[in-house]
Amino acid sequence: MVMEKSRMPCFTARQQVGFALPCDPTGGGIIVSFENKVCVITGAAQGIGEVYSKAAADRGAAVVVADIDVENGQRVANEIINDGGHAIFAKTDVSSPESCEAMAAAAKDAFGGIDYLINNAAIYGDMEMLPLLEVPIDYYNRFMSVNMNGCLFVTRAVYPSMAERGGGAIVNQSSTAAWSCSGFYGIAKLGVHGITINLARELGPRNIRVNAVVPGPIDTEATRKVIPSEMVQGILRAMPLSRMGKPEDLVGTCLFLLSDEASWVTGQTWAVDGGMAMRP
Ligand SMILES: NC(=O)c1ccc[n+]([C@@H]2O[C@H](COP(=O)([O-])OP(=O)(O)OC[C@H]3O[C@@H](n4cnc5c(N)ncnc54)[C@H](O)[C@@H]3O)[C@@H](O)[C@H]2O)c1
């Protein structure tokens, strides 16, 4: 099912002395092949999810772009196809179990099954910044149903297909906000950590691994709405690597955790944050 893309392996100096593996010509590290893999990515219509989708497609995966945003979701899928990859767009509201089931069925129809899932969707750029004691309950419930429950609902919809294929891997997108006092946004991500370790235990016997990536501040359009520019310098001072992350900084860890290179890694929350939240 997966269309072959022409790739130009590059060879490092280390390769000439016998140690090197094929590396990404763009400097992105070792290439993990996702040929013949089907990868569902939620929240893939823009920002980090778009970059994950294109990175997975570049490595050979057939990608299911799952998002509530039809226009941009379709655009991302089209761009992957125009670039020689395989993709479909599936309109999905991750807070609706029925919508998640329909997306999983569309993925199976298009590509025959599912191997990988990245639970990345969230209400983020346009979120209300309100204290816990004041946030309207309806808003709070909607927020948690997308940002926390969504990763459970999508997993419940796709894991049977992974199990049918002998196993799979899931990466849940968290945030260092889970470890700071960040209101209901951070609480939802803490819930994602809880879901990650519990599902790692429940799905381990089916050979499905579940991990979380925990990014620090990443420079996306959504972040520019959430973090005013005058706050950025203060944040950077707390970071050993002294710069905002780019979505591309997350790709290596996320795809590694999905891949067979991480075949004995499950139930982990893995910070990718420029050293912002170093914990002993
Ligand atoms: N950007 C950062 O600094 C940062 C840092 C840590 C973690 N994160 C996390 O990374 C993820 C992506 O962040 P981003 O900056 O790309 O944000 P973004 O707002 O650009 O992307 C979120 C995507 O989720 C989609 N979405 C929203 N509600 C949905 C729903 N109900 N069903 C399906 N899709 C839905 C949106 O349409 C959008 O495409 C989020 O989970 C966010 O919490 C971001």
Alpha helix positions (H), the chain:
13-16, 47-58, 70-82, 97-111, 137-147, 149-164, 183-203, 221-226, 229-237, 247-258
Domains detected in the chain: 33-269 (3.40.50.720)
Q: What is the mean pLDDT of residues 106-113?
A: 98
- Cβ of 222 below 6 Å from ligand 1: yes
Instruction: Give pTM, 2 decimals.
Output: 0.92
Q: What is the mean pLDDT of residues 31-38?
A: 90
- For residue range 199-236, what is the model confidence (pLDDT) as tens digits? 999 999 999 999 999 999 999 999 999 998 899 999 99
3-state DSSP call for residue 224?
helix
Quote the crossing angle between the two packed helices 149-164 and 97-111, to the nearest 10°: 30
pLDDT at position 20: 36
- Cβ of 215 below 6 Å from ligand 1: yes
- Cβ of 253 below 6 Å from ligand 1: no
For residue 185, indicate whether it is catalytic: yes
What CA–CA distances, in Å, run from 50 to 41, 63, 121, 246, 270? 9, 11, 11, 12, 20
